[in-house]
Homo-oligomer: A and B are copies of this chain.
């Protein structure tokens, strides 16, 4: 008698507050003190005509939010995905990325906005390479690499680490968020790796000690951090050719606000003058006459997103070069 299949709809709901990207979490599985989880709801095969409508429905029910942009990310279906009703039913999770303008959560809901980079601290390079990388992650990865027997196996590990964490000539690739998380997972450097007998648990505990007992970054329940990594990677990629940022900003904004929001998601600082040029030449925004009452210096003009762009150019997005730092 085959087990039944149940479908869960997972949402990575992202907003930006000022200069910090946030994700909506709920208190997680495993008692009240376990790690937080991404919100999710079951698909009701009777009521929900499409998957996306199902997602919007329970998000609206549970949090009162209307999602702006919604996009399917990936479907996770491994049998032993930590937690989840193990025995009788097989659980399939369809994960979504959703963007909203942040707002107060209706009181009484057990949800909270958490900083995305609490869970993936190595992804935030706005202040240059974070110390965590040089002090903790790279040494731990080196240990993991050395733990492989010399020869092709070790070279393989070295190559992967160099590529994903941008060591070689090639620099840091902001979109490889998932690759990096999965590498850390395999190396046993994130807390999730220790949980329920995944295949990785056997492989390589050596670097583990270096990461401390809890691994790098704050954990999420189940495999939700993997979902979050998928979401951030996708978001970073799509920023470049779709005007997604504007879903996160108020109706009018200054160019610096826009830039900060992009930087926040991309995890990198951008060159101000060039950013402005790209945005303006791309005709992504139009000035309203008004200005923002000075934020410390000369007042900035307020701009508005030109929705028409989507019907004019094939791939309108904010160019995302790879600028290291440069004076703000």
- Chain A residues with CB under 8 Å of chain B are 2-7, 43-46, 48-51, 72, 74-75, 77-80, 89-90, 92, 94, 155-156, 158-160, 162-163, 166, 168-171, 173, 176, 308, 310-315
**Residue of B with least CB distance to A176:** B314
B314 with A166: CB separation less than 8 A: yes
6 additional A-B pairs beyond A5-B6, A163-B310, beta carbons within 8 Å, are: A5-B43, A7-B92, A156-B311, A159-B312, A170-B313, A171-B314
Judging by beta carbons under 8 Å apart, are A75 and B51 in contact? yes
CB of A78 within 8 A of CB of B50, answer yes
Which one of B5, B51, B79 lies within 8 Å of A77 (CB-CB)? B51
B79 near A50: Cβ-Cβ < 8 Å: yes
Which residue, of A2, A160, A168, has the highest number of chain B Cβ atoms within 10 A?
A: A2
Q: Which of B5, B49, B72, B74 meets A7, CB within 8 Å?
A: B5
A315-B173 contact, Cβ under 8 Å, with A50-B78, A163-B310, A310-B163:
yes
Max chain B Cβ within 10 angstroms of own Cβ: one of A50, A158, A169:
A50
Q: List 8 A-B contacts (CB under 8 A).
A: A5-B43, A5-B92, A45-B90, A50-B79, A75-B75, A75-B94, A159-B312, A169-B312
Q: Which 4 A-B pairs have the closest CB atoms?
A: A159-B311, A45-B90, A51-B77, A173-B314
Question: Shortest distance in angstroms between A127's beta carbon and chain B's nearest beta carbon?
Answer: 22
Choose among B44, B308, B315 the residue that contacts A2 (Cβ–Cβ < 8 A).
B44
Return chain B residues, CB-CB under 8 Å to A50.
77-79
Find out whether the CB atom of B72 lies under 8 angstroms from the CB atom of A75: yes
Q: From A46, which residue of chain B is reached at the shortest CB distance? A: B2
Task: Provide the residues of chain B in CB contact with A51, threshold 8 Å.
Answer: 75, 77-78
Question: Which listed residue (B5, B79, B156) contacts A49, Cβ 8 A?
Answer: B79
Candidates B5, B72, B78, B311; contact of A74 at CB < 8 Å: B72
Contacts of A2 in B (CB 8 A): 44-46
**Which listed residue (B78, B92, B166, B170) contacts A92, Cβ 8 A?**
B92
The answer to whether B72 and A311 touch across the interface, beta carbons within 8 angstroms, is no
Please indicate the chain B residues that have their CB under 8 angstroms from the CB of A173 in the complex. 314-315
Q: A173's closest neighbor in chain B, by CB?
A: B314
Bound form: Cα–Cα A180–B169 in Å: 39
Contacts of A45 in B (CB 8 A): 2-5, 79, 89-90
Docked Cα-Cα span, A313 to B313, in Å, equals: 30
Is the CB–CB distance between B163 and A311 below 8 Å? yes
The chain B residue with its CB closest to the CB of A158 is B311
Shortest distance between the CB of A212 and any CB in chain B (Å): 29
**Interchain CA distance A94-B155 in the complex, whole Å:** 35
**Which of A80, A166, A311 gathers most chain B CB within 10 Å?**
A311
